[in-house]
Amino acid sequence: MAKDIGIDLGTANVLLYVVGKGIVLNEPSVVAIDTKTDKVLAVGSEAYRMVGRTPSNIRAIRPLKDGVISDFDITESMLSYFISKLSVKGFMSKPNIMICAPTNITEIERKAIVQAAEKSGGAKVYLEAEPKVAAVGAGMDIFKPRGNMVIDMGGGTSDIAVLSLGDIVASNSVRVAGDEMNTDIMGYIKRKYNLIIGERSAENIKITIGSAFPDENNNETMEIRGRDAVSGMPKSLTISAAEIEEALHDTIMQIVVAAKEVLEITPPELAADIIDRGIMLTGGGALLDGIDKLFAKELKVPVIISESPLDNVAKGAGILLEHMGTSKK
C-alpha cells in the first residue's frame, strides 16, 4: 500500500512528510554533479557539505531558485533520489504526492513542478499554494469563515496570504527571503571590511547572531573568517548583531511592504479578524531574532511565530492529503 507524501520543495531544503508517519526527511536542496560526465555524485546533506569546497570538475547545484525550478532534470533526479530513499523502508508503490509552490508562479512553472513530481514516481500529483499549506501546518483553522493571515518566509520566496473558508482571499509573493539575506550579509561584510566570505558562512552568521529588530541590549558578536579582498590572504574579524541587523534591514522591509499591500486589499471583515487573531509567521525566516517585533511594530497587528516554522509546509501538505483521503472515503 502506497502511503501518500507531502513535499515541501524548498529553495533551501526539501522536506518529505509521509501520511501516518510525519516528517521523514529533511535535506538541503543541493545536488553535486561531475561536470565531465554529468553524473550525479551526491544529493542533499552530502552535496551541501561540498558547497564552496569542490574541485573544478564537481559542481554543487541548487536546482531551485526563488521557489521555482531552474534546472528541471536535476530537480527530478533530486526528488527521485529522496523518494527512493523512503522506498528502501519498504512501503512504497506509487504514492499520491502533494507539493507546494509560491502563489505568484507562472503556469509553465506550475507544470514543471507537477511534472518533476510525476516523473519521480508520484501516482497523482496535487499542487497547492505554499502559504495556504503553511497555515494548515502551523495549526490555523483556515476552513472557517474568518480571516487568517500567514507570512511564510522561506529560502527563495516570502509568501503572504489572507485565508478564509479554505482558500486564499488576498496574497502576495516576493522573491526576497533567506537567500537574499545571506547575499546581504556577504555584501555588507565585503563593503565594510573588504572581507570576502562564502554563502555557507553568511548563512551561519544569520543563524547565530542575525537580528531583525534594533536592540541596544543585544551585544552578541561572532568571529568570522574569509579572504581579504585586497591582499587575497585569509583573515578573521569580529562582527556584531547590530551590524547584521543593519545589513538585513532593507530586505526585511521589502517583506513588510508586501504584507502591507496584502492588508490593504483584504476585505474589512477579514481585516478585523486579523486584528483579533494576529498574523502567523512560518518558514525559516520566522527564526530570525526579533522578526515578530518588527512585523508587529510595522503592521500594528499582533504577530505569532509558529511552533516549528521549518516544518509547517511539509506538515500542512500531509494534513491536507489526510483530509482528502478521509473525505473521499
Query: Alpha helices of 40-140 — where are they, by DSSP H?
Result: 45-48, 72-87, 107-119, 130-137
Q: Is 284 annotated as a binding residue?
A: yes
Tell me the residue type at 307: E
Annotated ligand binding at 46? The verdict is no
Residue 303: all three cell numbers together? 504577530
On the question of a common fold for 5-130+312-328 and 178-247, the answer reads no
- How far is Cα 320 from Cα 257, in angstroms, rounded to an integer? 30
CA–CA separation, 268 vs 172, rounded Å?
A: 18
172 annotated ligand-binding residue: no
Q: For the chain, how are helix, strand and coil distributed in percent, rounded to 5?
A: 40, 30, 30
pLDDT at 326 (0 to 100): 64
Residue 99 is labelled as binding a ligand: no
Q: What is the pLDDT of residue 2?
A: 59
Between CA 242 and CA 99 the distance in angstroms is: 38
- Residue 112 annotated in ligand binding: no
Is 287 annotated to bind a ligand? Reply is yes
**Domain 133-176+252-305 classified CATH 3.40.640.10?**
no
Distance between alpha carbon 7 and the CA centroid of its chain, in Å? 12
12 is in an annotated binding site: yes
Asked if 190 and 196 touch (Cβ cutoff 8 Å), the reply is yes
Confirm or deny that 155 is annotated as ligand binding: yes
Confidence (pLDDT) at 329: 46
220 labelled binding-site residue: no
Give the three cell numbers for residue 26. 529533511
11 belongs to an annotated ligand binding site? yes
Which one-letter amino acid corresponds to residue 247? A
Decide: residue 277, CB within 10 A, 0-12 exposed, 13-18 middle, 19+ buried.
Answer: middle
* Per-residue cell: 240: 556584531
In tens digits, the chain (329 residues) has pLDDT values of: 458 899 999 999 999 999 889 999 999 999 999 989 989 999 999 998 887 787 888 888 999 988 888 999 999 999 989 988 886 444 557 888 999 988 888 899 899 999 988 888 888 899 999 999 999 999 999 999 999 999 999 999 999 999 999 999 999 999 999 999 999 999 999 999 999 999 989 999 999 999 999 988 888 999 999 999 999 999 999 999 999 999 999 999 999 999 999 999 999 999 999 999 999 999 999 999 999 999 999 999 999 999 999 999 999 999 999 888 766 54
CATH class of 5-130+312-328: alpha beta
Cell numbers at 36, concatenated: 565531465
- The answer to whether the annotation marks 300 as part of a ligand binding site is no
Q: Would you kindly state where each structural domain of the chain is located, as residue ranges? A: 5-130+312-328, 133-176+252-305, 178-247
> For residue 84, how many C-alpha atoms fall within 13 Å in the half-sphere facing its CB?
9
Residue 243 confidence (pLDDT): 96
178-247, what's its fold? Actin; Chain A, domain 4 (3.90.640)
Q: Which residues of 205-224 are buried (b: 16+ CB within 10 A; e: fewer)?
A: bbeebbbbbeeeeeeeebeb
